Amino acid sequence: MTPLVRNTTLMLSLALATAAGAAAQTPATPASTTTVSAAPTAVATAELVTKLGSCAECHEKETSTFLGSIHGMKGVACHDCHGGDPNEIVQEDSMSPSKGYVGRPGRADIPAFCAKCHADKKKMAPSGLPTNQYEQYRASFHGKKVLVEGDTTAAVCTDCHGTHDVLSSKDPRARTHRANVPATCDRCHGDDLKMNVYAIPTDQHKKWKTSFHGKAVTEKKDLTAAVCIDCHGKHDIANPEDPHSRVHHANVVKTCSRCHADEALMERHNLSARAPADYLEGVHGIALFKKGNTAAPVCVTCHGSHGALPPGVKNVAMVCGRCHTRSEEFYNRSMHRTVKGFRGCIECHGNHRIAQPGSTLFVSSCIRCHPDGSPANQAGKEIRESFDKASENLDLAARELEAARGYGFALTKLEEALKEGNQAKIEVVPALHTLDKREAEHFRTKSQETLERVRHGVQEIIFRVRLRSVSLGVVLLAFLGAILLFRLRLERLERSE
């Protein structure tokens, strides 16, 4: 039927080129472990070339690449995408708009161009592929940039998948293969010239490579660790501030949990799968998810999103201290600061399941390292005793003040004294991190003063209340006496008249 099948030299050269074809444009670091899916045989290639018709005849370069692509291998032809007539050998006829030729799509038209098939359930049914890429892409940050704002610097389908060299992401040569994704994103996100306009950092790939995730993927060839799309998604990538984004503050825990709560996966890496659950049960998880306190840290606040944190031995105290500045300031004055191997805050508080601290922690956290009866253990107990005594004093003062309320006297001064006492408590808690007994002892003395001031004031009030009732009685008696006298007088007067 087509006269072009005669051209056996072309077919042969194409068949030879095919094996190398798609690889020519793939990123520099192909993963070597997996075997490549069926490369077409010479016979299959011949059939394909026949199908491509005149287009292949004139477009040898595109064709040689194309034959090795998933589209080429699955029998999609040039004219399925570009239109035109592969049976016409004259360029003007073959590439005629009257034959449906649409030519080369502009960047902004590419998503719809691919969606012609990929959003069509019927066309995609035999492959079993999902058909939601276009829909998701349109709502994504990239999609909105390109389709709504007309900013074609953002990614379109071909930037991530290629054009004539599209491969299934299972193929290790594919730009979208897990091992190659970071390089694919980096072609834009690592490009200062492209990203300058947006004033966003260009170091994600560089940092990722130094992270546990990056090292696992690049050095250990362990593809189960996180690459860009695990945290950002692929077709539905959103800006981190967007509440729908997987990396939005409120969604980070869920994003990390997909792997870090996976028992089997974590066990294979000698890691605990408890991190997310522990975090949710700790003060920070409760503060964020139960109390809506968005200042509470999530996984990436402490671990970094792309970089080489996790906080190791050296910088744990620094991570917590970023927010708990006062606790850190006083911790830095404690003897533990100079103890080798002491990992800072987490030795007493833990890292993920941080409990609401209280004075009992001066016993429960110390015993792990300082046995009962040791001087250090004793020091902890003494701090706790002083602190608890002081707290009791303040509670007592508060109760006595409360009881004095019914008398109708102004309590401003006493309320102020108690407020001062409570303020001293708020201030001393971080200071206790010095583990200097004198801090707690000083606080106890102060609370004793507060209690005495309040007590004294309340007693004064009670005295005045009594005084008042006594004087009121006297006035009343005098008044009654006056009335009595008056009546007696009146009676006497009446009688004398």
Q: Which of residues 273-302 bind ligand HEC (CB under 6 A)?
A: 275-276, 279, 283-284, 287, 293, 295-302
Q: Closer to ligand HEC by CB, 118 or 453: give it.
A: 118
Among 42, 125, 271, 467, the residue binding ligand HEC under the rule CB under 6 A is 271
- Our CA dihedral for 242, 243, 244, 247, rounded to 10 degrees, sits at 80
Q: How far is the CB of 315 from ligand HEC (least distance, A)?
A: 9
Which DSSP string corresponds to 227-282? -HHHHH-STT---TTSTTSTTSTTTHHHHHHHHHT-HHHHHHTT--TTHHHHHHHS
Q: Closer to ligand HEC by CB, 207 or 455: give it.
A: 207
Among 221, 244, 322, 413, the residue binding ligand HEC under the rule CB under 6 A is 322
Q: Closer to ligand HEC by CB, 209 or 455: give it.
A: 209
Cα 373 versus chain centre, distance: 44
Q: Could you tell me if residue 299 is left (phi over 0), alpha (psi between -120 and 50 degrees) or otherwise beta?
A: alpha
Interacting residues with ligand HEC between 156 and 215 (CB under 6 A): 156-161, 163-164, 166, 168-169, 176, 178, 181-182, 184-189, 198, 200-201, 204-205, 208, 212-213
Cα 117 versus chain centre, distance: 36
Quote the Cα angle for 19-24-28, to 5°: 125
Q: How far is the CB of 477 from ligand HEC (least distance, A)?
A: 56
Among 18, 26, 255, 447, the residue binding ligand HEC under the rule CB under 6 A is 255
CA atoms of 215 and 229, how far apart (whole Å): 16
Among 256, 397, 417, 454, the residue binding ligand HEC under the rule CB under 6 A is 256
Q: Closer to ligand HEC by CB, 7 or 400: give it.
A: 7
End-to-end Cα spacing for the chain: 154
Q: How far is the CB of 12 from ligand HEC (least distance, A)?
A: 17
Contact criterion met (CB below 8 Å) for 100 and 84: yes
Query: In 3D, which of 155, 158, 167 has the Cα closest to residue 66?
Result: 167
Quote the Cα angle for 432-320-314, to 5°: 100
Residue 484 identity (one-letter amino acid): L
Locate tokens 């040689």: which residue?
64
CA atoms of 346 and 328, how far apart (whole Å): 12
Contact criterion met (CB below 8 Å) for 231 and 240: no
CA atoms of 396 and 434, how far apart (whole Å): 27
Query: Interacting stretch for ligand HEC, rule CB under 6 A, among 232-240, 398-406, 457-465, 469-477?
Result: 232-240
Q: Could you tell me if residue 231 is left (phi over 0), alpha (psi between -120 and 50 degrees) or otherwise beta?
A: alpha
Interacting residues with ligand HEC between 328 and 357 (CB under 6 A): 328, 331, 335-336, 339, 342-349, 351-352, 354, 356-357
Q: How far is the CB of 455 from ligand HEC (least distance, A)?
A: 24
Query: Interacting stretch for ligand HEC, rule CB under 6 A, among 323-331, 394-402, 450-458, 469-477?
Result: 323-331
Interacting residues with ligand HEC between 417 and 436 (CB under 6 A): 429-430, 432-433, 435
Write the interaction track for ligand HEC spanning residues 371-400; mark x where CB under 6 A is met and - where it is not.
----xx--xx------x-------------
Query: Interacting stretch for ligand HEC, rule CB under 6 A, among 34-42, 272-280, 413-421, 463-471?
Result: 272-280
Q: Closer to ligand HEC by CB, 350 or 398: give it.
A: 350
Among 310, 389, 415, 462, the residue binding ligand HEC under the rule CB under 6 A is 310
Q: Closer to ligand HEC by CB, 382 or 400: give it.
A: 382
CA atoms of 318 and 352, how far apart (whole Å): 16
Interacting residues with ligand HEC between 38 and 67 (CB under 6 A): 52, 54-59, 62-63, 66
For CA atoms 267, 269, 270, 274, the dihedral sign is negative
Say if residue 99 is exposed, middle or buried (CB neighbours under 10 Å; 0-12, 13-18, 19+).
Answer: middle
Interacting residues with ligand HEC between 102 and 161 (CB under 6 A): 103-105, 110-111, 113-118, 127, 129-130, 133-134, 137, 141-142, 145, 153-161
Considering CB under 6 A, how many residues would be counted as binding ligand HEC?
171
Contact criterion met (CB below 8 Å) for 157 and 111: yes
Q: Closer to ligand HEC by CB, 127 or 469: give it.
A: 127
Interacting residues with ligand HEC between 445 and 464 (CB under 6 A): none
Q: What are phi and psi of 244, to 5 degrees?
A: -85, -15
Query: Interacting stretch for ligand HEC, rule CB under 6 A, among 5-13, 84-92, 470-478, 484-492?
Result: 84-92
Among 2, 34, 224, 448, the residue binding ligand HEC under the rule CB under 6 A is 224
Residue 481, interface with ligand HEC (CB under 6 A)?
A: no
Q: Closer to ligand HEC by CB, 326 or 455: give it.
A: 326
